Structure 1
Amino acid sequence: MSTEQKTAFDLIGRRYDESFVERDAQLGEGAWLLGQLGRPARVLDLGCGSGLPTAKQLLDAGVEVVGTDESAVMLELAETQAPGGQYLHRDLRDLADLGEFDAAVAFFSLIMLPKADIPPLLRGVRELLRGPRLLQIAMVLGDFDRFPISFLGVPTEVCAYPPDELRQVVEDAGFETMELREVAAEAEPNRIEVQIYLRARAV
């Protein structure tokens, strides 16, 4: 992630949570994951942001969460809004010294990376997984790389995949796709976007 993108989320801060009108699908993914995990369980939240909703949902259910994010402002919010997690200020591609996990989630964080960085990241995540070895990803439907946008008035760059291409990238990294679905959600007031949710298991 570039310096400009890190600065973007420092600027966005609390407005990120306030912008989301509808998060039912993401909460549903968290509920599914909780149903797959025994206890104790440990989950890596890549690009955890403010801790809402996923880190808080998992922590409230007694799951250990390690969250990584490049924005110090977002991590400060996570400490307050989803207390009890271990939050690390680092590039989400930096997987060193994190230990092992039952599952990893990346909800709308991989979109901030160049596409070239995603396959090696997924292969690295696979090596950290144990037990059920689950992976969940959420992206926005599209087909572009390092595309300039304005999010909440702050410029940044994003990537997106068509569903079949995302499935292939995940499977090439050593995972088996369990489910892939598209959901239309109101991401900001009066703006509907199509989101992709993918569930996979390392093989």
Structure 2
Amino acid sequence: MTDEQTAAADDAGPASAAGARREERARRAAVFDAVGGRYQEVFPARAGQLACGDWLLAELPSGARVLDVGCGAGEPTARQLADGGLRVTGVDLSEGMLARARAAVPAAEFHRMDVLDLGLDGAASRWGVEELGPDGNGSLDAATAFFSLLMLPRAEIAETLGRLRALLRPGGLLALGMVEADLDDAPLPFLEQEIRVSGYLREELVGLLERSGFAVRAVDSRSYAPAGSAQPPETQLYLRCRRTG
């Protein structure tokens, strides 16, 4: 499906498949409204995520434009990059998380937005963020997406990567964090709520990024267990990528 067809399908409303997908993404965002500040308590700043931020700060000049996809409460990425002199825009569907982000990182700009509207007319018509629609293609120096894309089915992850590539300038950077798992839209208990998550094995994820127009420069694999959790540690993958073409 082309971007134009996707946009047209979205406009068909909740009765359409695209409308149902949009409602499901909003429902998932509401989970994070309910979780609130507990997320930062259970999932404090991760060393791998901070290392990716350091990489971006080393690669980019002061004032470079960075999009933080699924920014949550702005910690640690939006704060780290804004404190380092970059122009940060964060997008998320959770209004509760965005309120926390605006309070925590006043130097950054935050918008409520569905990631599936990135690069499409819906960025402006639905969310009032014209610079992240088609007119913004090629305007970003970098993008980050730490554990936000895993909230989408695999098909939507691939769509979003394509939209991010379009928004990035040639040679633009992407820092991505995912959990290594062979899952597609699987239910998972999460802080007394339920979410649905997707993942890839390392080689699959690298292949997806390459097919989406990115060169993977480095993959950092780390074991991580949420604070106070009795669950076994998960394997987190941090990928440093550059747009090709």
TM-score, structure 2 length as denominator?
A: 0.79
Q: Deviations over 1:84-108 (max 9, x none)?
A: 2111101122213323210000000
- The answer on whether the counterparts of 1:103 and 1:132 sit within 8 Å (CA) in structure 2 is no
- How far is 1:130 from its partner? 1.7
Q: Deviations over 1:18-74 (max 9, x none)?
A: 112551111111111110101220100000000000000001111111110000000
- Judged with a 3 Å threshold, the aligned counterparts in structure 2 of structure 1 residues 47 and 21 are, in CA distance, closer, same or farther, namely closer
- Residue 123 of structure 1 aligns with an amino acid whose one-letter code is G
CA RMSD of aligned residues (A): 1.4
Structure 1: gaps of 5 or more residues: none
Name the structure, 1 or 2, with higher relative contact order (CA <8 Å, separation 6+): 1
- The answer on whether the counterparts of 1:177 and 1:199 sit within 8 Å (CA) in structure 2 is yes
Aligned partner (choices 139, 156, 159) of residue 120 of structure 1: 159
- The answer on whether the counterparts of 2:154 and 2:184 sit within 8 Å (CA) in structure 1 is yes
- The answer on whether the counterparts of 1:22 and 1:186 sit within 8 Å (CA) in structure 2 is no
Establish whether residue 176 from structure 1 lines up as the match of residue 215 from structure 2. Answer: yes
Aligned partner (choices 172, 175, 178) of residue 133 of structure 1: 172
Greater shift after overlay, 170-179 or 127-136?
Answer: 127-136
Q: Which structure's CA Rg is the greater one?
A: 2
- The answer on whether the counterparts of 1:143 and 1:159 sit within 8 Å (CA) in structure 2 is yes
- Residue 165 of structure 1 aligns with an amino acid whose one-letter code is E
Distance in 1 (CA, whole Å) between partners of 2:45 and 2:75 is 12
- The answer on whether the counterparts of 2:48 and 2:220 sit within 8 Å (CA) in structure 1 is no
Aligned partner (choices 226, 241, 244) of residue 187 of structure 1: 226
Partner of 2:21: none
Aligned partner (choices 88, 91, 94) of residue 111 of structure 2: 88
Distance in 2 (CA, whole Å) between partners of 1:106 and 1:197 is 10
- Residue 71 of structure 1 aligns with an amino acid whose one-letter code is S
Aligned partner (choices 37, 54, 70) of residue 93 of structure 2: 70
- The answer on whether the counterparts of 2:26 and 2:93 sit within 8 Å (CA) in structure 1 is no
- Judged with a 3 Å threshold, the aligned counterparts in structure 2 of structure 1 residues 131 and 169 are, in CA distance, closer, same or farther, namely closer
- How far is 1:118 from its partner? 1.4
- Residue 35 of structure 1 aligns with an amino acid whose one-letter code is A
What is the count of residue pairs matched by the alignment?
203
Aligned partner (choices 156, 160, 164) of residue 195 of structure 2: 156
Distance in 2 (CA, whole Å) between partners of 1:103 and 1:10 is 27
- The answer on whether the counterparts of 1:20 and 1:189 sit within 8 Å (CA) in structure 2 is no
State the percentage of identical aligned residues: 42
Structure 2: gaps of 5 or more residues: 1-23, 124-129
Distance in 1 (CA, whole Å) between partners of 2:238 and 2:27 is 27
Partner of 2:39: 16
Distance in 2 (CA, whole Å) between partners of 1:22 and 1:64 is 21
| Higher helix proportion | 2
Q: Deviations over 1:146-199 (max 9, x none)?
A: 111111111110101101111111110111110112101232324422101111
